[in-house]
C-alpha cells in the first residue's frame, strides 16, 4: 500500500458496491465477496440486499464478482440472481474461460454464471446515463463507470486517499503496475477538471479529486 512504515498496523478497508436507482431501474455495480469472503482473512460479511434490474461487474476479482454467486466456494457455486443477466468485461470473461492464472477465482465464477453473462466492450452504455469505460492496469478488462457528468465509480483504479497524492505507491494489487499508474494519472487529471463526485471500491464515502500544485489530493464530500 505504501513505503515501509507509512501505514503502521492493519488497515481496515471496506469493499463497496454501488446501487443506482432511476429511470424505473435499479442497477447493481459489483457485488462484494459473497461466498468467497473467506479468501480475505478477518473479513466480515454484510449481505447485498437489493433486487437489481441490471447487474454490472467492473472486473472479476473475488471481492467484486463473488457476490454474483451463492453456495459454497469453490465447487458448489450457483447464480445469486438466476433470472438476471450480468454484464462483465469481454476481455475478463475470455481470460477466465481459458483458465486465467492459478490464483484467480474468475474461471469458477464464470462457469457458475455461464448462460447469464453479457460481455461488454469499452464505451458500453447499458442504461440511460451509464457508461462503462476500460481503465487498464489493475486487472484484465478492469472498468470504471460514469454516471452522467457528475459521478464516477472508479472501482480499483486506486485504493486509498493517499494514493491520490502518491499514485506511484499503488502498485501492490495491479497486474500491470506501469499501465495502472498511467491510468491513475490520466483519471486524476480528468476528475480534477470535471469536479465529479467519485467513489472507489475500498475507500469509505465519496470524494473529489483536486489539484495540489503539480499533484492531486482526495477531498472527502
For the record, the C-alpha cell of 201 comes out as: 471500491
Residue 150, Cβ neighbours under 10 Å: how many? 11
- What pTM value is reported for the model? 0.95
Q: Which CATH number is associated with domain 18-220?
A: 3.60.15.10
**pLDDT mean over 161-183:** 96
Query: How would residue 9 be classed by pLDDT, with cut points 50, 70 and 90?
Result: confident
**pLDDT mean over 18-45:** 93
Q: In angstroms, rounded to a whole number, what is the distance separating the alpha carbons of residues 16 and 63? A: 9
SS3 letters across 143-175: EEEEECCCEEECCCCCCCCHHHHCHHHCCCCCC
pLDDT of residue 99: 81
pLDDT of residue 104: 92
Q: What angle do CA 44, 45, 50 make, to 5 degrees?
A: 155
H helical segments located in 52-105: 62-65, 90-97
Q: In angstroms, rounded to a whole number, what is the distance separating the alpha carbons of residues 212 and 218? A: 10
Domain assignments of the chain as residue spans, ordered by start = 18-220
Q: In angstroms, rounded to a whole number, what is the distance separating the alpha carbons of residues 112 and 184? A: 32
- Inter-residue contact 181 to 137 (CB < 8 Å): yes
pLDDT at 100 over 80: no
For the record, the C-alpha cell of 110 comes out as: 464464470
pLDDT at 101 over 80: no
pLDDT of residue 21: 95
Amino acid at each position: 500500500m505504501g513505503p515501509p512504515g507509512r501505514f503502521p498496523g492493519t488497515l481496515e478497508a471496506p469493499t463497496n458496491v454501488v446501487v443506482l436507482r432511476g429511470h424505473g431501474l435499479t442497477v447493481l455495480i459489483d457485488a462484494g465477496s459473497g461466498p468467497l469472503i473467506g479468501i480475505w482473512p478477518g473479513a466480515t460479511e454484510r449481505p447485498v440486499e437489493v433486487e437489481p434490474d441490471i447487474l454490472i461487474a467492473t472486473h472479476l476479482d473475488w471481492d467484486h464478482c463473488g457476490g454474483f454467486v451463492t453456495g459454497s466456494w469453490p465447487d458448489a457455486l450457483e447464480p445469486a440472481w438466476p433470472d438476471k443477466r450480468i454484464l462483465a468485461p469481454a476481455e475478463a470473461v475470455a481470460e477466465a474461460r481459458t483458465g486465467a492464472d492459478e490464483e484467480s477465482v474468475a474461471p469458477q465464477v464464470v462457469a457458475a454464471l455461464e448462460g447469464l453473462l453479457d460481455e461488454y466492450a469499452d464505451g458500453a452504455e447499458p442504461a440511460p446515463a451509464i457508461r462503462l469505460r476500460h481503465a487498464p492496469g489493475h486487472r484484465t478488462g478492469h472498468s470504471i463507470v460514469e454516471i452522467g457528468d457528475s459521478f464516477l465509480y472508479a472501482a480499483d483504479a486506486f485504493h486509498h486517499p493517499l494514493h491520490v497524492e502518491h499514485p506511484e505507491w499503488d502498485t501492490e494489487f495491479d497486474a500491470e503496475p506501469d499501465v495502472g499508474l498511467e491510468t491513475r494519472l490520466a483519471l486524476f487529471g480528468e476528475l480534477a477538471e470535471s469536479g465529479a463526485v467519485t467513489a472507489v471500491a475500498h475507500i469509505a464515502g465519496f470524494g473529489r479529486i483536486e489539484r495540489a500544485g503539480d499533484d492531486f489530493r482526495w477531498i472527502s464530500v
